[in-house]
Amino acid sequence: MTATGSEPQTGSTPVLDQGAPLLRAANVTAGYLPGVNILDGCNLDLYPGELIGIIGPNGAGKSTLLKALFGLVQVRSGEVVLEGEDITHLKPNALVRRGVGFVPQTNNVFPTLSIEENMQMGLFLRPKRFTERFAFIAELFPTLADRRKQRAGSLSGGERQMVAMARALMMEPSVLLLDEPSAGLSPVRQDETFIRTRRINKAGVSVVMVEQNARRCLQICDRGYVLDQGRNAYTGTGRELMNDPKIIELYLGTLATDVEDAAHQRKP
């Protein structure tokens, strides 16, 4: 595990590709109001095949980082690079064409449209591939195929989250950005969301996930970043971060008890 100012390391979990990162944010400064920066020199590396988790206190800049990566917040300094190409100032539609998908926390489905029509909206740039891509989605999320004519507005929160993820996958992205995918869901639905995220990752999509449920996020991610006040505070493998006493004390709160209980259960 490394602290602020160090290059991200992978610890005991090897990076899945030892070449250049698939996606890199380098010294990114960004914000919403003139002269007010939410991100202040933030860094992130995502390697092919990885699932990266971003955790930290409220107001740390986690969601702002995702929006900066997806062109929804202006990057004032630093750069964002995708497969060696500078994408810092590209608009979201251009990023979708280049293989970046984004699932916002709220307002992430078209409620008056059916599930199938939501999928069509996700592929509006390449409509001729709908049959092929929907077949892929049906393998990942059979429920959506079974209920494809149902109106998205009639779905539960967890089901809507599934539709939002599936729609983002229609364009066959290499990178998927998830903003608080478990927010507002019941514990059971949260678990389903994390399992679904890992399944998407194992299907070949590299994922960057912002999460308030830090414990579950670190359990499934390959590497994690802890943001604090718009900067990288710590980074390491999910296991390293989840078991580090300093991280537990500063950022994970009640995780300390969970970790101790799990350790006692493992003892003979």
Number of domains in the chain: 1
Q: Which residues constitute the domain of residue 192?
A: 2-266
Q: 75 with 16: CB under 8 angstroms? A: no
Q: With bands split at pLDDT 50, 70 and 90, how would you rate the model's confidence at 227?
A: very high
For residue 2, what pLDDT band results from cuts at 50, 70 and 90? low
pLDDT in tens, 69-116: 999 999 999 999 999 999 999 999 999 999 999 999 988 999 999 999
Distance separating alpha carbons of residues 47 and 95, to the nearest angstrom:
18
Half-sphere exposure of 263 (CA within 13 A, CB side): 8
Here the tokens at position 28 are: 């990114």
| Spacing of C-alpha 30 from chain mean position | 19
**What's residue 130's pLDDT?**
96
- What would the mean pLDDT of 210-218 be, rounded to a whole number? 93
Q: State how far the Cα of 54 lies from the Cα of 61, in Å rounded to an integer.
A: 10
User: 4 by DSSP, 3-state: which?
Assistant: coil
Q: Give me the CATH number covering residue 251.
A: 3.40.50.300
* C-alpha–C-alpha distance, residues 24 and 247, integer Å: 24
pTM value is 0.87
* Separation CA 232–CA 9 (nearest Å): 13
